[in-house]
Amino acid sequence: MPFIASGGMKLYFEEYGRGYPIVFVHEFESDLHSWEAQIRYFSRSYRCIAYNARGYPPSDVPDNPAAYGWEFAVHDIDAVMRGLSISRAHVVGSSMGAFASLLFGLWYRQGASAIVAAGAGLGSPASNRESWSRSATVLARTLTARGIDAMAEKMAGHSTRIRLKHKDLKGWQQFGGRLKQHSARGMSNTLVQRQAVRPSLYDFRDQFSNIPLPVLLAVGDEDTACLETSLMLKSTFSSAGIWVCPNTGHAINLEEPAAFNAHVEGFFSSVERGSWGHLDRRKQSVSSHEKSTAARLIFDGALP
């Protein structure tokens, strides 16, 4: 099995396709398999890399809860890229992975050429910070006490997944089946040390506002908890766009894979042409054409 070392942890990864790299960062209740529809599509013209976070087999599942801090999730993206000799890539994250991807763009801004943040912001609004932390802690204790087999069906039936069940029963069943293969200890530690205690995305608002990084925010119109934060991020990043998918819940890339792929592909195409970012264009100098041409040459491999 292919692994990459990160801070003493071994992270399992899979890689498909050739071309400019895309790194996929998964959500809490799934693993790299959640990106299957995206990897099958984008690997036709991109080099696609997906990996399992620490705590998700066959990646290491450390016993020490301190090894699961939310900061490690950001550094793990960098470790995966360095391990594969990738200096710059598009980064696509979902939910928990979207949080890490946005922070990667902040802390490792030279490593991200574009970021897609899908379903970002659970637990970020001030109105549900306390309930979010409490719910994550309770679920962690229950997973430890009862195990993943006993909890998988209940987790798959949560309101954040009900739209997936109604739209794609087979896909929802596959999601639940894979959930049972996760580590209860890994998920419990992830909840307590990463999910329940991570800061709000609102805390980084001033820092995000200084990053001219191309960002696509993808959110379902029924993903209420993430809509508010996505709108905040849209108004904060100087070069962000938001796609709101109708009649869609939290698992947007699973519920509407074709629409998700189309919007992400259009976003990447705009970034690679140098035409993304309405606010940035107002600030461009007369050399914008030359910059756009240089951007295309870089992505085409003509420039180092």
Query: pTM of this prediction?
Result: 0.90
Condensed to tens digits (0 to 9), the pLDDT of residues 49-79 reads 999 999 999 999 999 999 999 999 999 999 9
Task: Calculate mean pLDDT across residues 226-237.
Answer: 96
48 pLDDT band (50/70/90 cuts)? very high
Percent of the chain past pLDDT 70, that is, above it, reads: 91
Tell me the pLDDT of the chain averaged across its residues: 91
Report pLDDT for 31. Answer: 97
Burial of 172 (0-12, 13-18, 19+ CB in 10 A): buried
Q: Which two tokens stand for residue 158?
A: 């949560």
Beta bridge partners of 245: 220
Condensed to tens digits (0 to 9), the pLDDT of residues 23-40 reads 999 999 999 999 999 999
**21: Cβ–Cβ under 8 A, 6 or more apart, which residues?**
46, 47, 48, 49, 81, 84, 86, 88, 89, 90
Report pLDDT for 277. Answer: 75
Report pLDDT for 278. Answer: 56
Condensed to tens digits (0 to 9), the pLDDT of residues 252-285 reads 999 999 999 999 999 999 999 999 975 443 333 3
Contact 195, 263 (CB under 8 A): no
